[in-house]
Amino acid sequence: MLASYLKLAWKVLGRRKFFTFVSLFGVGFTLMVLVVAVAILDLSLGPQPPEVHQDRMLMVNRVRLSGKGNSSGGNVGPRFVSDFLRGLPGVEQLSYFGNVGSMTSRLRSSSHVTRRTDAAYWKVMKFDFLEGGPFSEDDLRNRRMVAVISRSTADKYFGEGPALGKTLELEVQRFQVVGVVKDVSPLRKLAFADVWAPLTTGRGDPPRPELLGGGTAVLLLSDPAGIPQVKAALRERLARFQSPDPRRYTRLHASLDTRFENSAREIFGDEADDRNHAAKLWGALALLAACFMLLPTVNLMNLNVSRILERAPEIGVRKSFGATSRTLVGQFLVENLVLTLLGTALGMLLALGVLKALSESALLPHAHLGLNLRVALAGLALAVLFGVISGIYPAWRMSRLHPVQALKGGER
């Protein structure tokens, strides 16, 4: 049965070349845009290296102090980490690291994005080390001037070839290279940098122990199921906050979020509200996709209806010989799915080209955009959805045709 449907679908596609072309163009282009969007989303938020443990990772990057008429927000300071994050239940690793900053090299007159981190950072993130390895707790304690650098930084600064053990001079600091890692895309907010150096190598005084500061803390739990407990434990600790300066500040706000929740919070809320905005972000993304797909879907429906009316005599014959409405709907849906899947294949090919061009262009540096399994499956799911929605109304119209009218050439 299915085989004959497929054969029929193929024949129909060949019959009206213009319609087939327009449909394939529409489906292919729509899917291409969606796949590219999904790939960029996956690159910035998906569980890609170095952030492979996202299912059991929680982060906090904003803290807010508030009081009577006063409120002051900022990134996480070292004292917030020591007083509120250390010793939370079920936490396997706790890493605290600074925001990225730019350091220039006078020698090469180049600028490098630098991030200062602790040693646990390398356990929370899984970088691909091409040479050497991360710096250690011991390096931090002794304030050793060592650094991990990215492949492209190594190439830019030292030229091709191994960079291990060489000296990188940035502003007034000289770092010995202990590791070289694969480039990370700037879209990966927590991992991206060109140069990673120990937190204790900051210039001037060591960071002051303050609640607000210039860093981010990431917690790696031993078990994803422990996420609610950890979140609740932090809330409890914050509720017991004793302000050192109650005249100005009385309350301290911060939330532990997953990577996705954190992005949602940045868009829909701030660190001072306890709500979870992830559902809102999913909703917004779905709405955006729906809005985008509306026009192509209606377009395809329209073409499908025209195509069906052209085939009215055939439908009339089939109905006269006893085909039920359901059979006809099924047949038409299969035909439409064949069309959309062909379009999808085309769209995926186009998307591959666009992603390759995007990866190579300077728009998104170090972005290794590609079709991984997650992206391809998401694209396929969207394609099937697209095919069913755009096929169901025309199929219903088709099944409702009266045989007599259909034999005469369709409805008016």
Partner 1 sequence: MIAHLWKMIWNRKRANALMLTELLAAFLVLAGLGTAGAYYLHNLRQPLGYSIEDVWVLGVGHGISPHEPVPAELMVEAQTLAAQLLQTVDDLPEVEAVAGVMTGPYVSGYRGSQSSDGDDIPVLGRGLPYDVDSATDDFPRVMGLTLLKGRWFGKADDGASYHPAVINQRMAQDFFGEQDPLGQQIGTGAGELPVRVVGVIAGYRQKGELAPPLRYMFRRHLPTAAEVPYHKLFLKTRPGTGAAFEAVLEKRARATGKPDWSYSARRLTDVRDGVRRVELMPLMAAGIVAVFLMLMVILGLTGVLWQNVTRRTKEIGLRRAKGATRSHIYGQILGELMVMTFIAVVLGTVLIAHVPFLQLLEDMTASIYLQGGAAAALAIFLLTALCGFYPARLAARVQPASALRDD
Pick the piece of the chain touching partner 1 (CB under 8 A) from 71-79, 135-143, 182-190, 219-227.
71-79
Residues that bind partner 1 (rule: CB under 8 A) add up to a total of 50
Pick the piece of the chain touching partner 1 (CB under 8 A) from 49-57, 117-125, 302-310, 325-333.
302-310
Shorter beta-carbon distance to partner 1: residue 260 or 292: 292
> Does 14 sit near partner 1 (CB under 8 A)?
no
Rounded distance, CA 247 to CA 91, Å?
34
> Does 174 sit near partner 1 (CB under 8 A)?
no
Q: Is 261 left (phi over 0), alpha (psi -120 to 50) or beta?
A: alpha
> Does 240 sit near partner 1 (CB under 8 A)?
no
> Does 295 sit near partner 1 (CB under 8 A)?
yes
Of 147, 166, 145, the residue nearest 157 (C-alpha):
166
> Does 100 sit near partner 1 (CB under 8 A)?
no
167-170 and 146-150 as β-strands: parallel, antiparallel, unpaired? unpaired
Interaction pattern, residues 130-169, with partner 1; x per rule: CB under 8 A: ----------------------------------------
Q: Which residues pair with 399 in a beta bridge?
A: none
Q: Which two tokens stand for residue 301?
A: 């429906």
Dihedral (Cα; 286, 289, 290, 295), 10-degree rounding: 180
Q: Which two tokens stand for residue 49?
A: 């290296």
| Binding-site member from 12, 13, 26, 57 for partner 1 (CB under 8 A) | 26
Q: Which two tokens stand for residue 99?
A: 């925001």
Q: Which two tokens stand for residue 332?
A: 């038409």
Rounded distance, CA 97 to CA 201, Å?
12
Pick the piece of the chain touching partner 1 (CB under 8 A) from 190-198, 200-208, 281-289, 373-381.
200-208
Q: Which residues pair with 327 in a beta bridge?
A: none
Shorter beta-carbon distance to partner 1: residue 294 or 404: 294
> Does 303 sit near partner 1 (CB under 8 A)?
yes
Rounded distance, CA 197 to CA 147, Å?
5
| Binding-site member from 132, 179, 215, 296 for partner 1 (CB under 8 A) | 296
Shorter beta-carbon distance to partner 1: residue 80 or 121: 80
Shorter beta-carbon distance to partner 1: residue 32 or 57: 32
Q: H or E element: which one contains 60?
A: strand 57-60
Of 116, 93, 77, the residue nearest 200 (C-alpha):
116
Instruction: Point out which residues bind partner 1 (CB under 8 A).
Output: 18-19, 22, 25-26, 29-30, 33, 66, 68-69, 71-72, 74, 77, 101-104, 171-172, 202-204, 208, 210, 212-214, 292, 294-296, 298-303, 305-307, 309-310, 363, 393, 397, 410-412
